[in-house]
C-alpha cells in the first residue's frame, strides 16, 4: 500500500485527478469504479475543471461502475447514487449515460441485482481503477463492520452511524434508506488499482485503523492491506493519527520518477 500524505484537501483533489487522468490518457477505454459521498467531490470537480479548460483526456470511451446504491428511493430521486454521479461527474465530462452504471435498486429485481452487477462488471474486463472513500466507522463502499472480506455485490443494511453521517444529504436520518446495494469487499479487491481518498479530522481514526491496524472485518477498509496496488491519499487532518506518518512522507519524497501511482 502507498500512503500519500498531502497537506490540504485541494492537493488531494489535484493528485486524485492526476491519477485518474493518467489512466484515461493511457487507456481511453478504461473502466473506472466510482465512489459517491462528499470526499471525492473535490477530485471530480478538479477533473471537470480541467476538462472544461480543454486540458483533460478524452472521456468518451470510458465506462463507469458506481460502488453502491440506496434501495427504496423513488425512481430518479436526486440523492440516488446513479443520479448523483451523473450530475457530479459523468455528465459534465460528457460520458454517455449508457456507459454509467450502478447496482439496480428496483424492488422486483433485488434478489438478482448483485449477480447481475457482478456480471456487468466482469463483461467489461473488470474495473481498472476504483475510487474509494472511507466511512467514519471504517466502512468501505457500504460494507459495514463485520462484512465478509470475500463478499460479492449484495443488499446490506446501513448502521445507524452511517445513516446519521449521510443525513446531511436528506432531511433527517429517518429519511436515509435502511438498505443499500453495494459492491462487496471481494468485488472491490478485484479492481486492479484502489485509490482511497480521505480528508478531514473526522476520518483520522478510520484511516489509522485501515492503514496501521489489523486486517479485520471490524474495519472493512483494512482490506486495502491485502491488495497488490492500493494508494491512499490523505490530507494532514486525516493523517493525524498515523503512527508511521514520517516514514510515509519520506517514502513519497524519495519516490523514483519512473514509478507511477
Ligand atoms: C460512497 C461510499 C461510502 C463513502 C463513505 C464516506 O459511494 O461507498 O463508503 O465513501 O461513506 O463518505 P463521505 O465521503 O461522504 O464521507
pLDDT tens-digit profile of 205-224? Answer: 999 999 999 999 999 999 99
Helix or strand holding residue 160 (H, E): helix 160-165
Please name the residues in contact with 124: beta carbons below 8 A apart, sequence gap of 6 or more. 31, 63, 65
Say if ligand 1 is within 6 A of residue 139 CB: yes
For ligand 1, what atom is nearest to the CA of residue 203? 16
The angle at the Cα of 184, spanning 214 to 99, to the nearest 5 degrees, equals 135
Q: Are 249 and 212 a contacting pair, CB within 8 Å?
A: no
- Using alpha carbons, select from 139, 209, 196, 192 the residue that is nearest to residue 3: 196
Say if ligand 1 is within 6 A of residue 202 CB: no
| C-alpha of residue 134 to centroid of ligand 1, in Å | 6
Ligand 1 pocket test target in 38, 67, 117, 135 with most atoms within 8 Å of CB = 135
Say if ligand 1 is within 6 A of residue 37 CB: yes
Q: List the grid coordinates of 67.
A: 460502488
- Using alpha carbons, select from 137, 160, 147 the residue that is nearest to residue 188: 147
Q: Tally Cβ neighbours within 10 Å of residue 69.
A: 27
Say if ligand 1 is within 6 A of residue 38 CB: yes
Residue nearest to ligand 1 atom 4, measured at CA = 133
Q: Tally Cβ neighbours within 10 Å of residue 223.
A: 23
Say if ligand 1 is within 6 A of residue 197 CB: no
The mean pLDDT value of the chain amounts to: 97
Max Cα distance, the chain (Å): 54
Q: List the grid coordinates of 138.
A: 471504517
Ligand 1 pocket test target in 12, 34, 35, 199 with most atoms within 8 Å of CB = 35
| C-alpha of residue 135 to centroid of ligand 1, in Å | 6
pLDDT at residue 201, rounded to an integer: 98
Say if ligand 1 is within 6 A of residue 142 CB: yes
Distances (CA, A) of 257 to 248, 260, 261: 16, 7, 10
Residue nearest to ligand 1 atom 1, measured at CA = 36
Note down pLDDT in tens along the chain; length 261 residues: 999 999 999 999 999 999 999 999 999 999 999 999 999 999 999 999 999 999 999 999 999 999 999 999 998 899 999 999 999 999 999 999 999 999 999 999 999 999 999 999 999 999 999 999 999 999 999 999 999 999 999 999 999 999 999 999 998 889 999 999 999 999 999 999 999 999 999 999 999 999 999 999 999 999 999 999 999 999 999 999 999 999 999 999 999 988 877
Pick the CATH number of 2-255 from 3.40.50.2300, 3.40.50.1360, 3.30.70.20, 3.40.190.10: 3.40.50.1360
- Write the DSSP symbol of residue 90: I
Say if ligand 1 is within 6 A of residue 130 CB: no
pLDDT at residue 75, rounded to an integer: 84
| C-alpha of residue 96 to centroid of ligand 1, in Å | 24
Amino acid at each position: 500500500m502507498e500512503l500519500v500524505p498531502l497537506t490540504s484537501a485541494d492537493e488531494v483533489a489535484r493528485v486524485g485527478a492526476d491519477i485518474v487522468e493518467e489512466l484515461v490518457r493511457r487507456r481511453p477505454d478504461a473502466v473506472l469504479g466510482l465512489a459517491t459521498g462528499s470526499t471525492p467531490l473535490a477530485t471530480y470537480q478538479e477533473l471537470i475543471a480541467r476538462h472544461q479548460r480543454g486540458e483533460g483526456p478524452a472521456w468518451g470511451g470510458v465506462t463507469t461502475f458506481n460502488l453502491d446504491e440506496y434501495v427504496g428511493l423513488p425512481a430518479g430521486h436526486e440523492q440516488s447514487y446513479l443520479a448523483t454521479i451523473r450530475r457530479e461527474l459523468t455528465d459534465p465530462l460528457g460520458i454517455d449515460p449508457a456507459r454509467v452504471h450502478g447496482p439496480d435498486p428496483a424492488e422486483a429485481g433485488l434478489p438478482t441485482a448483485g449477480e447481475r452487477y457482478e456480471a456487468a462488471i466482469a463483461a467489461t474486463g473488470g474495473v481498472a481503477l476504483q475510487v474509494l472513500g472511507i466511512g467514519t466507522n471504517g466502512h468501505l463502499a457500504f460494507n459495514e463492520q463485520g462484512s465478509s472480506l470475500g463478499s460479492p455485490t449484495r443488499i446490506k443494511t446501513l448502521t445507524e452511524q452511517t445513516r446519521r453521517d449521510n443525513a446531511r444529504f436528506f432531511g433527517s436520518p429517518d429519511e436515509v434508506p435502511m438498505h443499500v446495494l453495494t459492491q462487496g469487499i471481494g468485488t472491490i479487491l478485484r479492481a486492479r488499482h484502489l485509490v482511497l481518498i480521505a480528508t478531514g479530522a473526522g476520518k483520522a481514526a478510520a484511516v489509522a485503523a485501515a492503514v496501521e491496524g489489523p486486517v479485520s472485518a471490524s474495519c472493512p477498509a483494512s482490506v486495502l492491506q491485502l491488495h497488490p496496488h492500493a494508494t491512499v491519499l490523505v490530507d494532514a487532518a486525516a493523517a493525524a493519527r498515523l503512527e508511521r506518518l514520517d516514514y510515509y512522507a519520506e517514502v513519497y519524497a524519495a519516490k523514483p520518477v519512473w514509478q507511477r501511482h
